[in-house]
Structure 1
Amino acid sequence: MADWHPSQLLEPAEWFLRPSKTEPPVAVIRRLSRRAPDGLTEEVWFRVVTWSSASEHRELVGWCRTLEAAAAAGWDHYNAHRSWLHHVGAAPRNGPPPAKPPAAEMLRFYRDRLLKASPQALEPRSKRPLS
């Protein structure tokens, strides 16, 4: 009997990003690919959405070319959402709370603020100088 099985050809296509193993996911990353017209090369993208048990309640965070960039986008959105919740809860107001912005817009604003605070904040750790 051979030691090989077709399941060895499978590649992961979906990941759940969790703050810890005991907490629910905060984002879902799905790998999508298609063959180029030449039939030889494959174009790969990673789609990041917010977590919800019902997929119709998930929001698009963004599209990335690498799994690492997708995980960073999911994590940054998680932190942006927590920051927004804190801000909404801490700000005095008359009337109802403001509407939650779309996930992609929240991520863009959060990253813009990080970049203004520290230009190296969004660089991959491997490219940051040691200090």
Structure 2
Amino acid sequence: MDPEQDPRWDAVRAAARRRVPTPPGLVERVLRTVARGRRTAVDVPGEEGSLRVTERVVGRLASAIAAARAPAGVRISAVAVEDDVVQVLVSVRFGLTADEAAETLRREIAAELARQLGVATVVNVHVVDVHPD
């Protein structure tokens, strides 16, 4: 059956019609993030000293990991680092359990970042959309 013909899809359409206000402070946080683009996100300790990895590099690495590790039916919408936390926005296929898919991806990204950087990184995965296929 075409997911868009499924009567449960009406709830998704109704949610999409609701106006969602911009969270307070979001624009300011985005502008601050853009302005500080080279801020150090992670200090990786080593025998000869530490390596400073910028937010941009952590974001690109997390983006590549997310694309490679996303479970079937999960699409990556955006990846950013904000206040030393990796934020991943995803859409999930209609019919998937959104929290399970998000948690699976969060664990995968966090584990691979820890493996590659040698330090734990906080990762949040947010389901922001549902797609039919």
Range into which the TM-score falls when normalised by the shorter chain:
under 0.3
Greater RCO, 1 or 2 (C-alpha within 8 Å, sep 6+): 2
Q: TM-score, normalised by structure 2?
A: 0.24
Q: Which has the larger radius of gyration?
A: 1
Q: TM-score, normalised by structure 1?
A: 0.24
Q: Say which structure is richer in strand.
A: 2
